[in-house]
Copies of this chain bind each other. A is one copy, B any other.
Amino acid sequence: MMTVTRRETFSASHRLYNPAFSDAQNEAVFDKCNNPNGHGHNYELEVTVEGPVHPDTGYVVDLKQLKEVIRREVIAKVDHKHLNHDVEFLRGVIPTAENIALAIWKVLAERIPSGQLVSVRLRETENNVVEVRGGK
């Protein structure tokens, strides 16, 4: 089993709150992440694909193509953006790290040029990271 992982970064802001919650509930659940004016992070995204090594190229996947797909479909849409307001694929979603990673998984799953998407890992701070894993 061989996997290849590509790291990309983006900087974005967000605010965590659920419009169905009362202010007190939002405060209790989301705490300082509920600050009305929002806050932000440097996100670190790691996308992992799995597959056989092609004998003619020694590649599981052309990393140049994988990089371009990630940059065009994800980074260009979230970098220097407000994740609650500016991102089509996050519309209606509370932009927790979990939900952002899930949404990125959905965006990438059909567009990965070769190999099979097996993991989307999103580091929000040096202490917090989430990972969506899939595959067969």
Question: Bound complex: CA of A109 vs CA of B42, how far in Å?
Answer: 28
Cβ-neighbour of A57 out of B18, B62, B86 (below 8 A): B18
A74 on the interface (CB 8 Å rule)? no
A70 CB, min distance to chain B CBs, angstroms: 10
Q: Find out whether the CB atom of A82 lies under 8 angstroms from the CB atom of B125.
A: no
Proximity string of chain A (85-99) to chain B, C-beta cutoff 8 Å, 1 when within and 0 when not:
110000001111111
| Residues from 112 to 136 in A contacting B, C-beta threshold 8 Å | 125-134
Cβ-neighbour of A32 out of B3, B5, B42, B79 (below 8 A): B79
A23 on the interface (CB 8 Å rule)? no
Task: Report whether over half of chain A's contact residues are helix, strand or loop; otherwise say mixed.
Answer: mixed
A53 on the interface (CB 8 Å rule)? yes
The contact size tier of chain A is 35 or more
Which B-chain residue is minimally distant from A1 (CB atoms)? B133
Q: Find out whether the CB atom of A128 lies under 8 angstroms from the CB atom of B38.
A: no
Q: Find out whether the CB atom of A126 lies under 8 angstroms from the CB atom of B9.
A: yes
Q: Which has the most chain B C-beta neighbours within 10 Å: A39, A42, A79, A94?
A: A39
- Residue numbers of A with Cβ under 8 A of B are 1-9, 11-14, 16, 18, 20-21, 29-33, 35, 37-42, 53, 56-60, 62-64, 79-82, 84-86, 93-99, 101-102, 125-134
Per CB-CB distance, the 4 closest pairs between chain A and chain B, nearest first, are: A40-B40, A37-B82, A13-B13, A58-B96
